[in-house]
Amino acid sequence: MALTVSLILTGIAIGLLVLYAADVAVAMSSDSDYGFLPLDHMQRGMGLGGPALILPIIAFFISRKEPSKGLGVMIIISGVLIVIGGIVVLVNPAPAAESSDRDPISSMAMMFIPAAIQLALGAIKISKS
């Protein structure tokens, strides 16, 4: 039961990351700060990115005693998606972000720490399976 809940939570996190990436891609290709969702970068990060950072970590601890290579791989996938998204934003910031006072490097640093934790937890989950 705990493993099923963990798989669902991690699946939701991956879905949120894919939705987040698609919305950022649309926002980066347009002149506005909005993608296809009516969210600016802060709302998008808090609403889609925040849960995607936390859910895989919660999923790991819910099922820490149950072996599952599949869950470990899913946790690693979510960590990799976060790292790729952070690199893309650092390399190619949105035009609206360039004119704001927002520092993309400091905001990405706060994102890479949970991503590194997710990668480590995924590796632990796989190694214990």
Q: How many Å apart are CA 103 and CA 99, to the nearest integer?
A: 10
Q: Give the domain ranges of the chain.
A: 2-127
- Given this model, what pLDDT does residue 104 score? 66
| pLDDT digit string, tens, across residues 14-64 | 999 999 999 888 887 877 778 888 888 788 888 998 999 999 999 999 999
Torsion of CA 123, 127, 128, 129, to 10 degrees: 100
Name the band, by pLDDT with cuts 50, 70 and 90, for residue 102. low
Residue-wise DSSP of 85-103 = HHHHHHHS--HHHHTSS--
Here the tokens at position 107 are 């905001």
Q: What is the DSSP letter of 63?
A: T
